[in-house]
Amino acid sequence: MSAGWFRRRFLPGGPLPTPRPAGPHASPVPYRRPRFLRGSGSSPGPADASRRPDARPVRSPSRGRTLPWNAGYAEIINAEKSEFNEDQAACGKLRIRRCEFGTEEEQEWLTVCSEEFLTGHYWALFDGHGGPAAAILAANTLHSCLRRQLEAVVEGVVASQPPMHLSGRCVCLSDPQFVEEKGIRTEDLVIGALENAFQECDEVIGRELEASGQMGGCTALVAVSLQGKLYVANAGDSRAILVRRDEIRPLSSEFTPETERQRIQQLAFIYPELLAGEFTRLEFPRRLKGDDLGQKVLFRDHHMSGWSYKRVEKSDLKYPLIHGQGRQARLLGTLAVSRGLGDHQLRVLDTNIQLKPFLLSVPQVTVLDVDQLALQEEDVVVMATDGLWDVLSNEQVAWLVRSFLPANQQDPHRFSELAQMLIHSTQGKDGSMGEGQVSYDDVSVFVIPLHSQGQRDSGH
């Protein structure tokens, strides 16, 4: 984005968008649970919320409903943290059509979409905050954005090497060499499509919520299978891991105010107006007090991964840009994540300071080359919102996976049952973990088996 656009959109001096008052039918979409839970006895209302773990039922797809790759799914609503379950999930088949472009001599570019050209599969989790609206919109929108973005580059995706000109024109005979020297691979086009889809979806959510006078945002964790590879895109603090018999491989990284401290501080350094004189961008081990004035204390700034000392000035006593530690860290005292979708209208309490400039909708994308793995029946990808990972470590989840799957090989519903067991383990119900920890957050889990993917996602 250009510096001019950034200043016009976010810095003082220009008009700021004001949320419109919500009418009686202002919600962009009605509250509901994922479509694949229909028939499972799940309720669309808040009746399942309770602080007692045994009063919060775990929901899974009905036994007659099969998810892509026979994946398993389970969810549980939060313990009265909010009225509704703010998590949302989506999955399905991606049908990518081949588009042919008209000639330049025509008055308009004509796009002719032929039959299905490339197929893939899609699983996504959205963890909402400030209400369920953004997560619902994302669950209903992101896959369509991704399909459009992939259709725009599909000719390059199926090529052995992405062509310089998608139209097939050759302006320079050395174009293939330039592409090769840049190290551009076909998987880079899929990564770019995911990044563009997240950006497009974020814009849609912003328009819809502003039009309805609503607020809210969500994290997004997406897995896409295409041409023998699994692409995992994450914007937020949900997590995906690969669990094999002898390996645990993280497929995502969490994006929180702590993990992106330097990026956030640098933005405040370049545009100090964003803090409106109310916050200090510097980080200190604790919130400074009046008695610290004039003392030399530990600090670090945007250019530092290490620490140094500085003499405390009055401006250092302001509330820190990033405050707290671990799961308690907050951006501008408000938000626990630094990437996600939505939050266009979110402001610091009792101020006009926007959080959106500090938030990125761009995901980090990890590529798993499934074709290169010697897959076994128990090899799975576990995707879950942060409610699971607040209680269970990667190693604990892997231990549960390795304990459960070999003992239930004949059960066709074992992956959903495993997802349910993982959630039960966050409710203090599984004595085998020995800790009795309880997650009071919404928890949503996909368990995606890799061995049975068999019919590989490919061109027709």
Contact between 94 and 224 under an 8 Å Cβ cutoff? The reply is yes
pLDDT for 285 beyond 70: yes
For residue 105, count other CB atoms closer than 10 A to its CB: 5
Question: Residue 98: pLDDT band by 50, 70, 90 thresholds?
Answer: confident
Q: Is the pLDDT of residue 164 over 50?
A: yes
Where residue 436 falls among pLDDT bands split at 50, 70, 90?
low
Q: Provide the pLDDT confidence category of residue 454 given band limits of 50, 70 and 90.
A: very low
Q: Which residue has the tokens 């259709």?
A: 151
In whole angstroms, what is the distance from residue 203 CA to residue 375 CA? Answer: 39
pLDDT digits (tens, 9 = 90+) for 346-386: 999 989 999 999 999 999 999 999 989 889 989 999 999 99
Q: What is the pLDDT, as a whole number, of residue 113?
A: 46
Q: How would residue 115 be classed by pLDDT, with cut points 50, 70 and 90? A: low
Looking at residue 149, its pLDDT comes to 96
What number is the average pLDDT over the span 408-436?
82
What residues does each domain of the chain span?
261-336
Region 299-310: mean pLDDT is: 97
User: Does the pLDDT of residue 276 top 90, yes or no?
Assistant: yes
Distance CA 353, CA 332 (A): 9
Per the CB < 8 A criterion, the answer to whether 320 and 339 are in contact is no
Lowest mean pLDDT of 104-108, 201-205, 252-256, 438-442, name the range. Answer: 104-108
DSSP 245: T
pTM over 0.75: yes
* pLDDT at res. 27: 54
What is the structure's pLDDT at 103?
Answer: 46
Burial of 109 (0-12, 13-18, 19+ CB in 10 A): exposed
Residues paired with residue 127 on neighbouring β-strands, in sequence order:
87, 219
Contact 159, 184 (CB under 8 A): no
Q: What is the mean pLDDT of residues 282-298?
A: 96
**What integer is the mean pLDDT of 399-423?**
94
**Average model confidence (pLDDT) across the chain:** 85
| pLDDT at residue 415, rounded to an integer | 96
* Cβ within 8 Å of residue 355, ≥6 positions away: 331, 332, 334, 335, 343, 346, 347, 348
| Cα distance between residue 284 and residue 187, in whole Å | 41
pLDDT range class, residue 335, cuts 50, 70, 90 = very high
Is it the case that residue 141 has pLDDT exceeding 70?
yes
Q: Is the pLDDT of residue 47 over 80?
A: no
Contact indicator for 126, 139 with CB cutoff of 8 Å: yes
- Mean pLDDT for 423-427 is 91
Count CA atoms within 13 Å of residue 373 on its CB side. 24
Main-chain dihedrals φ then ψ at residue 334, nearest 5 degrees: -125, -50
The more confidently predicted of residues 184 and 400 is: 400
pLDDT digit string, tens, across residues 195-251: 999 999 999 999 999 998 888 999 999 999 999 999 999 999 999 999 999 999 999
Q: Torsions phi, psi of 221, nearest 5?
A: -125, 120
Query: Is the pLDDT higher at 315 or at 116?
Result: 315
